[in-house]
Amino acid sequence: MKLIFLGPPGAGKGTLAGIVSKEYGIPQISTGDIFREAIKKESELGKKVKEIVGRGDLVPDELTVSLVRERLAQPDAAGGYILDGFPRTIPQAEALDAFQHMDAVVDFAISDEVVIGRLSGREVCKSCGAIYHVKNMPSKVKGVCDRCGGQLYTRPDDSLESITNRLEVYKKQTEPLINYYRKKEILKEIDSSKSPEDTLVQIRKALGKN
Ligand code: ADP
């Protein structure tokens, strides 16, 4: 199954992609994670994208598409995958269409207000990438990952300034993809404003796996 998880920042794409990936036995491919990993390692790619990602702007299409193309050529992606955070622009979607056939696009619908609340309290594990929220989904021990014991941190692009910019960028550049995939008749719309459990039930139904 080849899936795209589409939606604004903070909609829960990453959290749900992690769960669905385990459940369906297909890898979660997150462009955001790829960029953050490169920034952490201070690789050539990391140096190129650090400022862009920190501001909440989009990495140029050409660079992003070539990374995804490489990633999808890995053997673990042969049996399907979840794209989390890609495509994010019409040119990215068109480039993907040219070499892959998607089965479904899950659109995570949510209001700006809920998104801002979620992102402004989000914490991520430095080691395994698990996602928490200081109020809605706190770790058992403050600052420590329940899953692996790693250290939790706040993403630099989860500052209020960057969150506001990411939402604007989403509306301008990414939201048009909803119509793009609706026209292709592979769009599955879900309400992601509730709990991850509730969202998971909706995704299973939308994908016909309940
Ligand atoms: P979120 O969905 O919470 O904004 P992501 O982890 O998906 O976070 O992405 C973080 C950042 O990585 C984005 O703000 C952007 O700078 C960059 N990025 C991720 N995916 C893409 C993409 N498909 N195209 C361009 N830039 C991207």
75-123 residue pLDDT tens: 999 999 999 999 999 999 999 999 999 999 999 999 999 999 999 999 9
Which residue out of 4, 50, 59 has the highest number of ligand 1 atoms within 8 Å of its CB and is therefore the one to mutate?
A: 59
CB 15 less than 6 A from any atom of ligand 1: no
What is the percent of the chain where pLDDT is above 90? 95
Binned at pLDDT 50, 70 and 90, residue 210 comes out as low
Q: 31 with 20: CB under 8 angstroms?
A: no
The rounded Cα 44 to chain-centroid distance in angstroms is: 23
Mean pLDDT of 177-205: 96
CB 129 less than 6 A from any atom of ligand 1: no
What is the percent of the chain where pLDDT is above 70? 99
Per DSSP, the three-state class of 47 is helix
CB 32 less than 6 A from any atom of ligand 1: yes
Neighbouring C-beta atoms of residue 36, cutoff 10 Å: 20
Measured CA to CA, the distance from residue 178 to residue 189 in angstroms comes to 9
Distance 25 CA to ligand 1 centre (A): 24
Active site residues: 13, 88, 122, 155, 166
The pTM of the full predicted model, rounded to 2 decimals, is: 0.90
CB 122 less than 6 A from any atom of ligand 1: no
Residue closest to 86 by CA, chosen among 21, 132, 17, 164:
17
Mean pLDDT of 176-191: 97
Please, where are the H alpha helices in the chain? 13-24, 31-41, 44-55, 61-72, 90-97, 112-119, 160-169, 176-183, 196-206
pLDDT of residue 5: 98
Residue closest to 103 by CA, chosen among 41, 171, 24:
24
Supply the residue whose CA is at minimum distance from atom 2 of ligand 1: 9
Residue 170 CA: nearest ligand 1 atom is 4
CB 6 less than 6 A from any atom of ligand 1: no
CB 7 less than 6 A from any atom of ligand 1: no
Residue closest to 68 by CA, chosen among 53, 57, 84, 54:
84
Q: Over the chain, what is the mean pLDDT? A: 95
Residue 8 CA: nearest ligand 1 atom is 2
pLDDT of residue 107: 98
Strand-strand pairing, 28-30 and 187-191: unpaired
- Whole-angstrom CA distances from 55 to 38, 146, 175 are 16, 29, 19
pLDDT tens digits along 151-170 = 999 988 899 999 999 999 99
Q: Judge whether residue 73 has pLDDT over 80.
A: yes
